[in-house]
Every structure is written in structure tokens, then in C-alpha cells.
Amino acid sequence: MKLWGGRFTKETNQLVHNFNASLSFDQKFFEEDINGSIAHVTMLAKQGILSETDKESIITGLKGICEDIKSGRLLIDEEHEDIHSFVEAHLIERIGEAGKRLHTGRSRNDQVALDMKLYTRKEVLEMDSLLKNLLSSLLKIMKENTDTIMPGFTHLQKAQPITLAHHMGAYFEMFKRDRSRLHDIYERMNYCPLGSGALAGTTYPLDREYSASLLDFYGPTLNSMDSVSDRDYLIEFSSAMSIIMMHLSRFCEEIIIWNTNEYQFIEIDDSYSTGSSIMPQKKNPDIAELVRGKTGRVYGSLISLLTTMKGLSLAYNKDMQEDKEFVFDAIDTTKGCIVLFHGMLDTLTFCKDKMRASAEGGFTNATDAADYLVNHGVPFRDAHGIIGQLVLYCIDKNISLGEMTLEEYQAISPVFKEDIYDAISMETCVSKRNTIGAPGQEAMKKVISVYEKYLSE
Ligand code: ARG
């Protein structure tokens, strides 16, 4: 059934129909479309715009359609232009005259704005809970590894010793911010466009507050032109998803590096690895690579949507139909990546000995050796120079700072005493760093308890 056609004298060209149609993708929100319609007719009846009998039969009809689509008894065929026409046509087929009253005081413009909002709102919450689950796993790893020493890097060069808990904590912060972005989006988007009509509201005495409350919105939107043409929340959501993907991608990059033969900091579980068709020895981190790879796709959705919107005059323009495929794809991709990444993280093994050994090499305690001199009265700039010389000496001898004899130390500076070894041990380097946010166990325990409280809320 077409929702229009009265003023036309010719049939639509088939290619035009196909090009114009959105049913192949907007069927994704058939349930939201039906729930929105149920709220709409409930409000119409309360306002005396629709009779109680018509309301009842429309609601029964709509619920039947919903169940039949879910159970597969009613197939969504391509004959209709979009999900709105599909549902309305089937309603009229099922209940007759009353079905023709469903669209009173409504346009597809406010209808689609509502459907997309309802769908997105649900997905924002779903994504938030997936991130929360991921954070629980991260916190578990943190709690178990406040003493697991590993090298921290800058420029991908070993820099200073840290702990695995500290490294995981960095990602905890990122995903925590991602959740708070989702919460912000929810707060801003949760206003109901239903009742805005095509662009200028309607002449019927609609109760927009009431339909908004039926659908759990904070209230109605306040400008009908903006209501039918606002896609900001989709851009914000795409942006938030892009940032989530960027975080996952950075984490994946580290997992890929840690999983190499050269590092061997971790072992990805067999169930989350893949093999090579030619090289029998290979065990590849495909999942991490794919998550990293799919990041570009989600960025693409953000840029596409921004570009689609940038030249649009008010109010609704058909260009806006292009919002759906991008956003649906970005949502499915991001959710899939969070779930897969989470599974990979939960099953991987941390090779703590390898991490520890790696931290010992690369002079990660050089800063602490300089601090030792400073604590004994040497100015920092001089201390920096002295330790630089020691490092050169060690490189030449192929030893670490901890392997130098006291005589060797004292040959360079008499300030060094026996306690230098303790001062530059990995344990000391980590445990002395106790400013909040640092890897020291004391600081880390405080942060962990903040995280515990955060996750229990
Ligand atoms: N499929 C359309 C969309 O997604 C529904 C709204 C149609 N409105 C219109 N005036 N043609 O945007």
C-alpha cells in the first residue's frame, strides 16, 4: 500500500520505488514503530480525537502484527516503501476502517524521528551495559595484578616500570569516559518528537506531554521543525562509538604487539585465535586486528552522517533517510567489537615472567637511579648526566644497572652506597610511586576501591 498517490496520475517507476524505499533497513525498528503508534492512538483516544473502540481495535491489530513479525508468520516484503507503510497497510488489512485512523495528527516525519530515537535510545543503554561488563573484567585483572611488574612505554620504547594493574587502569578510565559520554547523549536526546507533524505541529488538540510520558521520555521536544530534522543525537552517538572504537583499537594494537614472538607478554586463547592456511606454526591475533580494522568503518559512519546533514535546509529532507544504514552498521559493529574484545580479554593469559624480565631490561630504572642521587644532594641535571654515563657503560658491557658492582658505581660517583640496589629494584621503582593515579600499590588500591564503588552503582 502507498501512503500517498491521490494527486498522481501515473504509477511510480519501479527503479524510483526501489531507490526511494527504506524498508530493507528501517524494518529493523518495526517494534519501535508499533510501540510509537500504540502511544499515539492511546493519546488520541484520551483527547477524544479517536473513539475508545477504534483505539482498542488498532492496538489489538498492532500487537498482533508485532507478534506475527517476531514469530515469522508475517514476512516483511519489499513491496512497501518503508516500515511505516508496511505496518499501516497490514493494520488496515486486518482491522479495516479503524486502521485508516491510525495516522491522524501524525506525519511520517515525526514518526520516523520517533522510531529512530526509540531504537537509538535502547541501543545507547545496551552499549552502556556492554561497556560496564567489560569494565568488570578489567577491574578483576587490575585487582589480581597490582604487583605484576611490566615495562611502561613512551614512543614504544621502554620507559619506566609500571604494573599490569596500572596499564589496565588506563583503559578502565577510557571506557569509563565512554560510558559517561553515552549517559550525556541519553540525557540530551530523551525528548519526544511525536506530535510535531510534518514540520508545523497539527491542528488537533494533541497532548504531547502525555505521549512523551507513555514512551518514557522526559518530555516533548519544543520546536516541531527541529524535532523532525534533528539528527544531532545520531551524530553524537556515532562520535561516541568512534571514540569507543578508537579505545578498543589502541588496546588491540597493544594486544597484537604483546602477542608477538618478540614480546610474548600474553598468549591469546586458542578459541580467540586463528591459523594460517599455509604456515602451520602460525597463531594469529585476527580478532584484535579486525576490531582495529573495523574502527575505520565506524569513523566512516560519523563522517557520512555529518556530511549528509551539513547542507540541509529546515525542516525534513529525504537525505535524512541516509542516517539509518550508517548508524545501524556503526551500532552493530561497535557492539560486536566490544563483545568479541571482551571475550578475548577474559580468556587471554598474561605471561607475568616475560613482562617482569622485559621491565628489568632497557634501563627502565634510570630515572630512579637519578632520583637516588638527587635524594643525596646531587642537582637533578648533574644526576641525569651521571646516570647517562652509567647507561652508556652498561650498554658497552651488556649489563643492567642492577648488575653493576658498587666499585663500578663509585668509580663514577662516590655518592653511591650499597642501598642503590634497593633504590633501583623494580619493586622500589613501582612501590614508591604513590601519587594518586600512579602505579604504586598504595595508590592503585585507592583507585581500585573508587572503581569498585563506581561499578556497584
Ligand atoms: N523513510 C523515511 C525516512 O527514513 C521516512 C520519512 C518519510 N517522509 C517523507 N516526507 N517522505 O526518512
Ligand 1 geometric centre to CA of 323 (Å): 11
Confirm whether 155 is a catalytic residue. Answer: yes
pLDDT tens, 283-305? Answer: 899 999 999 999 999 999 999 99
What are the domain boundaries of the chain?
5-104, 109-151+161-204+225-355, 358-456
C-alpha cell at 352: 607475568
Ligand 1 geometric centre to CA of 199 (Å): 12
Residue 205's φ and ψ, nearest 5 degrees, are: -80, 65
pLDDT at 130 over 90: yes
Q: What is the 3-state secondary structure (H, E, C) of 420-454?
A: HHHHCCHHHHHHCCCCCCCCCHHHHHHHHHHHHHH
Per-residue pLDDT band at 331 (split at 50, 70, 90): very high
pLDDT score of 283: 83
Among residues 24, 136, 276, 449, the one annotated as catalytic is: 276
Least confident of 161-170, 242-251, 360-369: 360-369
Sign of dihedral through CA atoms 367, 369, 375, 380?
negative
Nearest Cα residue to atom 11 of ligand 1: 318
Pocket test for ligand 1, best of 321, 322, 326 (most atoms within 8 A of CB): 321
pLDDT at 406 over 80: yes
| 417 vs 274, residue with greater confidence | 417
What CA–CA distance (Å, rounded) separates 454 from 100?
50
Residues 6+ apart with CB under 8 A from 122: 32
Among residues 155, 271, 277, 313, the one annotated as catalytic is: 155
Ligand 1 geometric centre to CA of 314 (Å): 14
Residues 195, 105: contact at Cβ < 8 Å?
Answer: yes
- The predicted model gives 382-386 an average pLDDT of 95
Per-residue pLDDT band at 359 (split at 50, 70, 90): very high
Per-residue pLDDT band at 345 (split at 50, 70, 90): very high
pLDDT score of 59: 98
Nearest Cα residue to atom 2 of ligand 1: 321
pLDDT tens, 202-224? Answer: 999 999 999 999 999 999 999 99
Ligand 1 geometric centre to CA of 224 (Å): 16
The DSSP bridge partners found for residue 149 are 163
Per-residue pLDDT band at 366 (split at 50, 70, 90): very high
- The predicted model gives 339-358 an average pLDDT of 97
Nearest Cα residue to atom 3 of ligand 1: 321
Per-residue pLDDT band at 320 (split at 50, 70, 90): very high
DSSP, collapsed to helix, strand or coil, labels residue 191 as strand
Pocket test for ligand 1, best of 3, 22, 119 (most atoms within 8 A of CB): 22
Ligand 1 atom at minimum distance from 22 CA: 1
Per-residue pLDDT band at 112 (split at 50, 70, 90): very high
pLDDT at 1 over 70: no
- The predicted model gives 114-125 an average pLDDT of 98
Ligand 1 geometric centre to CA of 153 (Å): 51
What CA–CA distance (Å, rounded) separates 61 from 259?
56
Ligand 1 geometric centre to CA of 78 (Å): 16
Average pLDDT, the chain: 96
Percent of the chain's residues with pLDDT above 70: 100
Q: Which residues line ligand 1 (CB under 6 A)?
A: 22, 26, 82, 108-109, 112, 316, 318, 320-321
pLDDT at 421 over 90: yes
What CA–CA distance (Å, rounded) separates 127 from 111?
24
- Where would I find the H helices in 21-163? 23-26, 30-46, 52-71, 83-95, 108-144
Q: 358-456, which class in CATH?
A: mainly alpha
pLDDT score of 281: 82
pLDDT score of 358: 96
E strand or H helix at 366:
helix 366-375
Ligand 1 atom at minimum distance from 318 CA: 12
pLDDT tens, 50-82? Answer: 999 999 999 999 999 999 999 999 999 878 999
Q: Does domain 109-151+161-204+225-355 have CATH number 1.10.1060.10?
A: no
- Full-model pTM: 0.95
Q: 5-104, which class in CATH?
A: mainly alpha
Nearest Cα residue to atom 10 of ligand 1: 109
Confirm whether 247 is a catalytic residue. Answer: no
